[in-house]
Copies of this chain bind each other. A is one copy, B any other.
């Protein structure tokens, strides 16, 4: 892909709408653009990052036997009335609700429990129809009072939500634990470790839920976690004087960013919406239910907050829109050849063929933040002894030092690093 044909082609403009680090860097580098407070267009580069995050989620959820579908965003009031959530003051604070010109009341989805339960209720007769595991990637809306954290807390964002229905609490718990592991794997593949944190149920349930928290000084959340064991709890439900219940040691307090949240909802929704099934003995029973959510746009923001320096973003290899930022210093023909060779080897390349200075190209390479930078110049080409093929300058985004290597060596090195990601 050539930078000269890319949109946007330049990043010279100053954007001052939002001062959070993720918004500034993602905007300057051309990944997103703000339409209004809390609402962003995903530009081609940004959509590529989200596509890669989504594919990692999709792969791991498919392994757990879940299937992808897509539900509507505009919900009739009646369906939210079945659980009473339409009129819940906490829901009314965040859900956009309105009446259309014909007097019908709608809500814009911030979650889909009622709609899923309504759907599966139409297809469940007996225990043989369970379990059901369905997920989607779709737009969610939240009427956020303050939307000043870039894509970390937006009014409109992409969400991956998974729902599972089971014949027993035991079966639900088993799958719930499996999804916990899938989530940890997903975040590991994306590039960070998370703490599985006990948290309040909010507008979803009276029980505890589990958040996936990523330690970060810019986080809006605060958690207590144990250094010795897996214990972690959101400060909202942690008693400051308490010790770790396992290790009896004082837990550590830390700021964090929530990147996922899972909810063991039990039979609350199936009871309210009358979704029952016949068990092996022909008895009617309530369906056991849980929901699970990861926000890919939020994850993108968290990654930028965590992995960046004063020059720009530093993408983990697994979600970088391209692996290689290719710079030609007056050697466009040779760079073209190298671009083709790399692409043939399955490596994604953005070739900066713009008519700008070397300094500007290097600055863009750092700002956009792909894992590898390759420079082709008079100097590198003159090193070709005829035996080891074309020489290039190779630099990792998170290293200071550049190396002079043959293209073949570099290709092998990058392919090896990419394979580790799966």
Q: Give A residues with C-beta under 8 Å from B.
A: 5-10, 13, 33, 35-36, 39-44, 46-47, 50, 65, 67-76, 79, 92-93, 96, 98-101, 106, 108, 115, 118-120, 122-123, 125, 128-129, 132-134, 138-139, 141, 143, 155-156
> Are A74 and B156 in touch, CB under 8 angstroms?
yes
A84 → chain B, closest Cβ, in Å? 19
Nearest residue in B to A165 (C-beta to C-beta)?
A: B7
> Are A69 and B40 in touch, CB under 8 angstroms?
no
A34 → chain B, closest Cβ, in Å? 10
With A7-B132, A123-B8 as known contacts, state yes or no: A70 contacts B42, CB within 8 Å: yes
> Are B44 and A68 in touch, CB under 8 angstroms?
yes
Bound-complex Cα distance A203 to B143 (A): 30
Which one of B33, B106, B133 contacts A122 once the chains associate, using CB atoms below 8 Å? B33
16 sample A-B contacts, Cβ–Cβ < 8 Å, listed by A number: A7-B120, A33-B119, A33-B122, A35-B75, A39-B74, A40-B72, A41-B71, A41-B72, A42-B70, A46-B69, A50-B70, A74-B108, A74-B141, A92-B101, A96-B100, A138-B139
Q: What are the residues of chain B within 8 A of A35 when measuring CB–CB?
A: 71-72, 75-76, 79, 115, 118-119
Which one of B65, B98, B118 contacts A98 once the chains associate, using CB atoms below 8 Å? B98
Which one of B33, B65, B74, B123 contacts A13 once the chains associate, using CB atoms below 8 Å? B123
Q: What are the residues of chain B within 8 A of A72 when measuring CB–CB?
A: 35, 39-41, 156
Q: What are the residues of chain B within 8 A of A69 when measuring CB–CB?
A: 7, 41-44, 46-47
Which one of B67, B115, B155, B156 contacts A7 once the chains associate, using CB atoms below 8 Å? B67
Nearest residue in B to A5 (C-beta to C-beta)?
A: B65
Bound-complex Cα distance A44 to B136 (A): 10
Q: What are the residues of chain B within 8 A of A93 when measuring CB–CB?
A: 101
Shortest Cβ-Cβ A-B pairs, 10 listed: A98-B98, A8-B123, A42-B70, A44-B67, A39-B72, A41-B71, A36-B76, A72-B156, A35-B72, A44-B69
- 17 new A-B contacts, CB < 8 A, other than A8-B123, A43-B69, A50-B70, are A7-B132, A7-B133, A9-B128, A9-B129, A33-B119, A35-B72, A35-B75, A35-B115, A36-B76, A39-B72, A41-B69, A41-B70, A41-B71, A44-B68, A47-B69, A73-B156, A93-B101
Bound-complex Cα distance A86 to B50 (A): 31
Bound-complex Cα distance A99 to B44 (A): 31
> Are B123 and A9 in touch, CB under 8 angstroms?
yes
Nearest residue in B to A51 (C-beta to C-beta)?
A: B68
Nearest residue in B to A92 (C-beta to C-beta)?
A: B101
Bound-complex Cα distance A5 to B155 (A): 36
